[in-house]
Amino acid sequence: MLIRITFLGTGAGTPGRDRYLPAILIEDGLRRILLDAGEGVQYRLLEVGVSPLKITHVFITHLHGDHVFGLPGLLATMAMLGRREDLIISGPTGIANFLRNSMEIVGDPPFHVRIYEIEPLSGVKDVINEENFSLQCTSARHTVPDCAYSLNWRTYVGKFNPGKAKELGVPVSLWKRLHMGETVVLNDGRVVRPEDVVEVRGSGLIKIVYTGDTAPANSIIDIAREAQMLIHESTFSAVEDENLVWSQGHSRSVDAARVAREAGVERLVLTHISNRYSDPGLLAAEASKVFPNVIAARDLMSLVITS
């Protein structure tokens, strides 16, 4: 499996010449997922060659304008282009009302919008479960309800041995689950583990966590544990006063790095960077003193994760 992450907008609060407002495109071969939809998201999709009709999911972290004001226009364009496929939208409490009010302006779309409205809680909550993909959320530490998301993909963990599966009496209907790293229970009560029928070569899980806006929080550490990638807001530099930054529900570069270190993630990507910093690489340099595998996102930058 190959997952491509493209940063459509990496700015904070107001757009800049080089940084549009927050939006991230995730492509896994079956889905095209938007994380947040700041103003200008349609133009950025045009630049990377992705039609709005191809977007399958939109996950909104919170209802501040810089994260959501691009969504009504996106829905209107989908309607004008004749979309018919369902669109899945997830967001915190209030997202359904926001969409209803938006539709009064742009008109009801000729496609079905499936809304998952979430009350962000400190624990990890399951939101969506599809065949090889799931979405979880927890509460970020911001000034309004904010969903930090964990996007999880099940992948094949190694070479499957059908002969062993037949010897153990495992029904064919359960083979894929074992191949993707799940333990199964047979009708007679026997437990079959992946290692019983698979030459295990990996964890079978790809995990990307996106915080939205947040001050450093234990809830983020918990949901991000052992993720391949943590995309954490870094609105400010380490030189800013931490108490002032945290009171605004934001983080500094070093705050994001400490969260990444505590969670044991493989890679940290800083985003939601204030336009007061002309070189976001300076924030990455600060963070690297705490957590070495870090990069500051730039608009239209793409990263790839493979299983």
Band the pLDDT of 300: cuts 50, 70, 90. very high
Tell me the pLDDT tens digit for each residue of 231-263. 999 999 999 999 999 999 999 999 999 999 999
Q: Which of 28, 36, 66, 146 is catalytic?
A: 66
Q: What is the pTM of this model?
A: 0.88
Q: Which amino acid, one-letter code, is at 159?
A: K
Mean pLDDT within 159-175: 89
Mean pLDDT within 209-221: 97
Do 146 and 94 form a contact (C-beta atoms < 8 A)?
no
Domain ranges for the chain, please list them. Answer: 2-155+204-306
Band the pLDDT of 79: cuts 50, 70, 90. very high
Is 66 known to be catalytic? yes
The owner of tokens 């927050």 is 22
- Res 203 pLDDT > 70: no
Q: Which CATH superfamily is domain 2-155+204-306 in?
A: Ribonuclease Z/Hydroxyacylglutathione hydrolase-like (3.60.15.10)
Q: Helices then strands (H, E): number in the chain?
A: 11, 18
Tell me the pLDDT tens digit for each residue of 48-64. 999 999 999 999 999 99
